[in-house]
Amino acid sequence: MTDLLLLPGDGIGPEVTAQVRRVVSALAPDLKVEERLFGGASYDAHGTPLTDEALATAKASRAVLMGAVGGPQWAGVPRDKRPEAGLLALRAGMEVFANLRPALCFQPLADASSLKREVVEGLDFMIVRELTGGIYFGSPRFIEDLPGGGKRAVDTQVYTTAEIERVARVAFELARGRRNKVTSAEKSNVMDSGLLWRQVVTDLHARDYADVELEHILADNAAMQIVKNPKQFDVMVTDNLFGDILSDISAQLTGSLGMLPSAALGVAGKPGLYEPIHGSAPDIAGQCLANPLAAILSFEMALRWSLDRTDLADTLFAAVNKALETGARTRDLGGALTTVQMGDAVLAAL
């Protein structure tokens, strides 16, 4: 059985996953690692961003680590064949409905954020993003010509009680092992799906998690509060689209989008999908400028959540912190190290 399936993907994806490979070799050489084309690279070779074989291998692996997908060269490809569609199909196929996105400010990076040190120093909050439902997957979905000229585009936001409840459960369980607080973000003031979201979270809380502090917040206010005073939050649970946006905002609190890893989890015992939250960064791709830490920290999450190697996860986390303490910085963090040199710094700290 494959322990770790690497899906490097496109743009900076292969650059950052190459550094993950080096870390795996140094830290956990016993892991059986495989690699498959994914995203635009798979489309170019196979005519589809996710082959049946790659999906089957992913589902039969213990953990999957994805780099990034997409890029301007695939802008004209039909939507269902685009690199991003491959990622959605992978998430749906693996049934990884809960996406953990930790906004954690490493102490040495307290001055790297565009926000003031006192706002971000010591920050450690977790976004739990619903990942296999909502407007990303709802139907109907289409663009049509209107008789009088112009077009009409439709996307559909859909959530069921069961979908909301299972992701909220993950958030409550996580909070119990942290600071015991869950903030649920939606737009119950304007959306029926938001109304249902608030009801289901409230009911689940009363039924099973009354010991956890629960707070509801409207998603627009959440965006503002994350920038104003992020340390008020412990675990924030939210839907697919809001979670996408709020996690990019939160990444900037940690110093850079290149710092934020993620773990997408589903049913216990099934493989998790690990991905940096950043994209393929076409503006810096191919220049060895990308920060590989979000990808390396995604492997750290894989060790913790899928590979039962908490010991190695702790070692890797400490090594990343140490590398940052010694001043290792890629350009996004205000430094001058290349992607490979940042990988070197982590390896040296291991």
Closest CA to 298 of 64, 87, 129, 55: 64
CA 21 to chain centroid, in Å, comes to 19
**Interface residues with ligand NAD (CB under 6 A)?**
12, 16, 68-71, 84, 87, 257-258, 275, 278-284, 290-291, 294, 332
136 is catalytic: yes
Binding to ligand IPM (CB under 6 A) within 235-254 occurs at 244
Helix spans in the chain (H): 13-27, 40-46, 52-59, 83-94, 117-120, 161-176, 192-208, 219-228, 240-253, 293-305, 310-325, 339-349
44 is catalytic: no
Q: Which does 71 bind (CB under 5 to 8 A by kind): ligand IPM, Mn ion, ligand NAD, none?
A: ligand NAD
248 is catalytic: yes
Q: Residue 204: which residues within 8 A CB-CB, separation 6 or more? A: 165, 168, 169, 172
Judge residue 340's burial from the number of C-beta atoms within 10 Å of its C-beta, 0-12 exposed, 13-18 middle, 19 or more buried. Answer: middle
Token code pair at residue 245: 């946006």
Residue 3 found at the interface with ligand IPM (CB under 6 A)? no
Phi-psi region of 198 (alpha: psi -120 to 50; beta: other; left: phi over 0): alpha
Chain position carrying tokens 């060790």: 303
**Dihedral pair phi/psi, residue 276, rounded to 5°:** -60, 150
Q: Which of 3, 244, 300, 332 binds Mn ion (CB under 5 A)?
A: 244
Residue 239 found at the interface with Mn ion (CB under 5 A)? no
Q: Which does 257 bind (CB under 5 to 8 A by kind): Mn ion, ligand NAD, ligand IPM, none?
A: ligand NAD
Considering 44, 124, 155, 248, which one is annotated as catalytic? 248
Choose between 274 and 317: whose C-beta lies nearer to Mn ion: 274
Considering 3, 10, 43, 136, which one is annotated as catalytic? 136
DSSP code, position 271:
P
**Is position 74 annotated in a ligand binding site?**
yes
116 is catalytic: no
Residue 50 found at the interface with ligand IPM (CB under 6 A)? no
**Is position 288 annotated in a ligand binding site?**
yes
Residue nearest ligand IPM by beta-carbon distance: 84
192 is catalytic: no
What type of residue is 88? L
- Where along the sequence are the contacts to Mn ion (CB under 5 A)? 244
Binding site for NAD(+): what residues are annotated? 71-84, 279-291
Catalytic residue positions, numbered = 136, 187, 220, 244, 248
Binding site: what residues are annotated? 71-84, 91, 101, 129, 220, 244, 248, 279-291
